[in-house]
Structure 1
């Protein structure tokens, strides 16, 4: 695994990568590179990183716990809890969880990208994020398509706070991190941009505006400059993650993420009925290409045989997934996001690790 991690990280100009693979035979950890660009201390499995959209699995699990407690229903209209949501009477809690609400993703607005470039330390309030989303028409009517949208999860975080009567950071600690023994995982208050020690720095070439495309690649001349060393990445470690909040602000380590992604699939955080519903929920994100397309369900993604999630935000990329049949868990993080050519380095490394493992183990199980 070490050769694959090293070669891919070098190709993508990533300063540091940590990968953890857990199988019935035990754990294997591979680390490459340094916490800071150009040298310095080596990255380690103890390092804390921003995990981006893996946070959605935390927020979504809390919402599903509230469902099993009878405090809200998957078929409830979001307007029951948030009357300000456009067409909220036709959008259900389930459609927020599985990204089929049609609500515009505020993260795709030029307004947010420009603001993040101008003031990376800005503290964003959730309602400010929603206002940016509501200024745009929906992508489609509810349940008539799939579009990944942070707007959905910000709404779910607000609903969880409304029902539990506590800040989301305390809800996650009390309901998930504490009971599971995830002592290295945290969700910061809106005003906090700190990372616990030890931690790497997180880097990005270019700016949020320059990387708005899909894929988020820099212009070709800038890519060439990065590869020849004349363009250096910017340090985004202390950018305030409140712009992602319930959809992407959490912090963790590879060990805690392995524990978490296994809990997602083994029923430790949900009752049997709700767990079964969640595990059967992922549907193709691209109906025109279902065999190859990743699947997405109730705040959980499915990549081949693995269930979990990815996370991307300026400076950090993370992948965490578990195959519950073969008892295989893969967690990878990289301290560069995005790469100059628009890849997500940790996700690409995880994909290559999984392909190698399953090629040597025989056919991937299907369901």
Structure 2
């Protein structure tokens, strides 16, 4: 039985601010460091860019060039690794209408690919007995609305019913009007709980950034560590992801080298549609309408749900470890794979969601879409092929997610006879 409206949102926010999350966001090192057995050590192959495989170049270069042009975006990076070779290319410039070319080594905000990392940390904690998938949110936050009914598993597979704070109008107004504002996770959760849930816990599926913010807050509470430290110790360091980082509170800068990120319209207008009206679309195509530079929108607004910065090579390394089961024990990894259901072996447009990751046809990974950047990361277990795409615009002027569209074209080109 849902009792949402009987809870006091302001009281909940106060509990979170002065309770379990306070130490986790103090910026001070924890006195409780993980034991050696808590950190997974992984040996992964070198996926750094090499000279393009001639066969892949002949197959992919014309297809990707056409897809990038059709996307009408300032810049893109495409990185493909197959058992027979690799292929990497960069397109466009770091600044809109600029002259400095983007490179395959540039760093990008990866958006919701971050969710796979956070979920992996949570599943590692499950392996270690520090969490259980059946644990209720109320175990950690007794005052959380309907926390006695929402489980860790439902947070990971987007079946909690929690409203996504990123759909709140006033929240998006703040993103537009005060992009440097530093959000606290408690504020994001308070916005979410000020709205009725989409459905009762477990009675549906709805993608919600609130789920990841909440489960990350729980991970911080049970470990006594910041999310940044957890990602560094459990994902970045074991895999040698030296160009991958999670921004500290209030750090809205991008490491060098990196491109700028752009957005047509506003965050508020995007709640209605991300497709430009015909007149604006024509103006964008003729150069009469410029997109907004949103590179330095403070990433605290997305935090655990999308804050990581990385390179294409690092994400390719991570995708292999993630999908091939190098970050979890066999039992938990098998459970995670089963959460996706039957993979569609032929159609990359078939999307399913599992325990903190997605399948795109036969590929497993995640995409990411935040103002200024759009990312696709997928690996096909059967063939051992990995595709990573970065774009410097979340939505093309026509309203499509450019990295996903480019990745589909790459997949189809690779599977042509």
Please tell me the TM-score bracket, short chain as reference.
over 0.9
Aligned 8 A contact 1:2 1:31 in 2: no
Asked whether 1:353 is paired with 2:414, we answer no
The CA distance in 2 between the partners of 1:220 and 1:106, in whole Å, is: 30
Residue 277 of structure 1 is matched in structure 2 by 335
Q: Which residue of 2 aligns with 1:365?
A: none
Q: 2:276 maps to which residue?
A: 218
- In terms of mean alpha carbon deviation, does 82-91 or 309-318 score higher? 82-91
Q: Partner of 2:86: helix, strand, or coil?
A: strand
For structure 1, the residue ranges without an aligned partner over 5 or more in a row are 285-289, 361-367
Counterpart check, 1:108 vs 2:167:
yes
**Contact 1:211–1:218 (Cα < 8 Å) also in 2:** no
Map of 1:191 onto structure 2: 250
Does residue 1:316 correspond to 2:377, yes or no? Answer: no
1:134 aligns with 2:196: no
Paired with 1:86 and 1:291, the residues of 2 have a C-alpha distance of 37
- Separation (CA, whole Å) in 1 of partners of 2:331 and 2:227: 25
The partner residue of 1:81 within 140, 143, 149 is 140
1:252 to 310, 327, 332: 310
What residue is the counterpart of 1:336 in the other structure?
Answer: 393
Would you say the 8 A contact 1:5–1:30 is kept in 2?
A: no
Instruction: Give CA deviations for 1:133-167 in whole Å, capped at 9, x if unaligned.
Output: 11111111111111000000000110111111111
SS of residue paired to 1:277: helix
State the alpha-carbon separation in 2 of the partners of residues 84 and 40 from structure 1. Answer: 54
The answer to whether 1:306 aligns with 2:344 is no
> What secondary structure does 2:233 align onto?
helix
Q: C-alpha distance in 2, partners of 1:354/1:205? A: 28
> Quick one: distance in 2 between partners of 1:291 and 1:165?
40
Q: Please, what is the CA RMSD of the aligned residues?
A: 1.6
* 2:297 is the alignment partner of 1:297: no
TM-fit CA distance, 1:23: 0.5
What's the CA shift string for 1:155-195, capped at 9, x where partnerless? 01101111111111111001110011000100011211111
> In 1, Cα distance between the equivalents of 2:309 and 2:246?
6
Q: Deviations over 1:283-315 (max 9, x none)?
A: 59xxxxx99641100001001110000001010
Deviates more, 1:235-244 or 1:77-86: 77-86
Deviations 1:254-309 (A, max 9, x none): 0000011111111211011111111111159xxxxx99641100001001110000
Higher-Rg structure is: 2
- For 1:51, the equivalent position in structure 2 comes to 110
Give aligned pairs, total.
355
Q: Does 1:26 find its partner at 2:112? A: no
Distance 1:230 1:19 in 2: 28
Q: What's 1:268 paired with?
A: 326
Q: State the Cα distance separating 1:13 from its structure 2 match.
A: 1.9
Query: What do residues 179-219 of structure 1 show as CA deviations (whole Å, max 9, x unaligned)?
Result: 11000100011211111111011111111111113x52233
Deviation for aligned residue 1:83: 2.1
